[in-house]
Amino acid sequence: MTSVPFDLICTGCGATYDPPRLHCDRCDALLRSRHASVTFDPHDRPDLFAFQDWIPPSKACQIPIGSSVYRSVGLADALGLSNLAIAFSGYAPSIGAANPTGSFKDFEAIPTMLYYREHGIDALILASAGNTARAFAYAAIQLDYPVIIVVPERAVPQLSIPCPPTDAVCLIALEACDDYATAIREAARIGTVLGVANEGGARNVARRDGMSTAILEYARTLNALPDHYVQAIGSGTGAIATWEATQRLLDAGLGDHLPTLHLSQNAPFTPIHDAWSKGTPIRPDDHVEEQLERIERIDAHVLANRTPPYDVPGGVRDALTATNGRTYAISNAEAREAADLFLRSEGLPIGPAASVAAASLRHAVRTGAIASSDAVMLHITGNSDLLLKQDFQMHPIVPRWIVRPEALTDNRILEEKIRLAHWL
Ligand SMILES: *Cc1c(COP(=O)(O)O)cnc(C)c1O
């Protein structure tokens, strides 16, 4: 095992731990990585491993992941902004964005597997609402690292990747289910029964540090911090990660204030926006049927998370509070309009989630929350598959097991063990 130049510090009580670990022994707060290097000194390479000093794996790999940051002309003009930069975290070779599954989930998957592998954990289980499954499946195949991925059946048709699947990926689909929260719960149980480590979601520091590289790329490209960071969120993990990275950048002497977080959700399913606007906690188990009915109606399904890390110390609410942040509820119609505007003004097709972010930027400019000369980073977290399909044959990931959540007893899971995880 290699020794790595970072440890974990609890954002609640300050306890410190050796990695890897998901929970503090003393409280419920998120653990955060504390990297030995406090200077911002990117290495000379085009991908996110340029920020190796501030992400957990100590080794890099050659898969071309990372954000492409450029100054906007077209969209900036259309919105009346003089200092707008776009961080494009999808697949668009014309601007140097080569993320293999077309979203910033690629930044989470590869660093996570390298990190756990360095610490002797040789397989993982995780849940996904869609894009995470694509990214982790692709990474698993490239790195030959076994993963079990649990998804609601509703997500399966979207799960294609630009390489043929191998035995490294085991997909479990929850039949007649459209609820990511159920997938999270069942993944935790299957992992416990089979003895496979849980990837950890927002609690996994490799995931957060990987996502944080979008704003690090902004800092490297423009040698500054933005005044505003604009992103569509489901869990808000990318927002927490960005807040954490900007604290590191300030400590390193770059910038003089934390960027304000502008976080958007797709109406009518907007739990974080509702909680933040009303000052109430999120209650994932209240009115579940109504929540699921709202989830049905949104275009950006990857944003549908009933159990985001909002109230937890070190989570989304703390990030919004610390940065004087704002949240937005964006309708499907507004998001589609913003996608059209982005295509016309920037020439690139973006996905439903990124369209929600673009629409919220428009909203923030109209209401004066963002002034025309402010420095803005719009995070395009993923694009439509159009450009990937032009360059690659896309392969579906076929579920190895389709099962109703009610039928997932411990005994049934054990009966399926060899089929699900022959490598155990
Ligand atoms: C997952 C995802 C998001 C939301 O990210 P979080 O910060 O985890 O809430 C936004 N856009 C795309 C394309 C995604 O796949």
Q: What is the pLDDT of residues 151-176, one digit of tens each?
A: 999 999 999 999 999 999 999 999 99
CATH number of the domain within which 171 lies: 3.40.50
Is 153 in the same domain as 253?
no
Is 229 in the same domain as 179?
no
302 lines ligand 1 (CB under 6 A): yes
Q: How far apart are CA 130 and CA 132, in angstroms?
A: 6
Q: Whose CA is nearest to atom 13 of ligand 1?
A: 382
Is 365 in the same domain as 381?
yes
96 assigned to some structural domain: yes
Give yes or no for a contact between 232 and 264, defined as CB atoms under 8 angstroms apart.
Answer: yes
Q: What is the DSSP letter of 258?
A: P
Is 216 in the same domain as 136?
no
Closest ligand 1 atom number to CA of residue 238: 7
What is the domain range of residue 171?
124-195+394-420
If you compute the radius of gyration of the chain from its CA atoms, what whole number of angstroms results?
20
Is 344 in the same domain as 232?
yes
48 assigned to some structural domain: no
Is 134 in the same domain as 88?
no
3 assigned to some structural domain: no
Closest ligand 1 atom number to CA of residue 103: 13
83 assigned to some structural domain: yes
Mutate to test the pocket of ligand 1, among 231, 262, 330, 380 (most ligand atoms within 8 A of CB): 231
236 lines ligand 1 (CB under 6 A): yes
CATH number of the domain within which 332 lies: 3.40.50.1100
Does residue 278 sit in helix, strand or coil? Answer: helix
Res 2 pLDDT > 50: no
Strands 260-266 and 228-232: parallel
Is 288 in the same domain as 157?
no
Q: What is the pLDDT of residues 42-68, one digit of tens each?
A: 999 999 999 999 999 989 999 999 999
User: Token pair 């309009």 is at which residue?
Assistant: 337
Q: What is the pLDDT of residues 77-120, one digit of tens each?
A: 999 999 999 999 999 999 999 999 999 999 999 999 999 999 99
Q: Whose CA is nearest to atom 2 of ligand 1?
A: 302
233 lines ligand 1 (CB under 6 A): yes
> How confident is the model over 3-23, as a mean pLDDT?
91
Is 232 in the same domain as 299?
yes
131 lines ligand 1 (CB under 6 A): yes
Q: What is the pLDDT of residues 282-334, one digit of tens each?
A: 999 999 999 999 999 999 999 999 999 999 999 999 999 999 999 999 999 99
Give yes or no for a contact between 190 and 403, defined as CB atoms under 8 angstroms apart.
Answer: no
Is 173 in the same domain as 242?
no
**Alpha carbon separation from 354 to 29, 63, 157, 386 (Å, rounded):** 29, 23, 20, 15
Res 140 pLDDT > 90: yes
pLDDT, averaged across the chain: 96
238 assigned to some structural domain: yes
Closest ligand 1 atom number to CA of residue 131: 15
Please give the tally of structural domains in the chain: 2
45 assigned to some structural domain: no
Residue 328: per-residue pLDDT = 98
pTM of this prediction? Answer: 0.96
User: Token pair 């420095």 is at which residue?
Assistant: 375
Is 130 in the same domain as 242?
no
Mutate to test the pocket of ligand 1, among 104, 107, 132, 134 (most ligand atoms within 8 A of CB): 104
Q: How far apart are CA 183 and CA 202, in angstroms?
A: 15
284 assigned to some structural domain: yes
24 assigned to some structural domain: no
Residue 347 C-alpha to ligand 1 middle, in angstroms?
22
Residue 3: per-residue pLDDT = 44
Is 158 in the same domain as 177?
yes
130 lines ligand 1 (CB under 6 A): no
Closest ligand 1 atom number to CA of residue 211: 7
Lowest mean pLDDT among 175-179, 229-233, 273-277, 341-345: 175-179
Is 221 in the same domain as 257?
yes
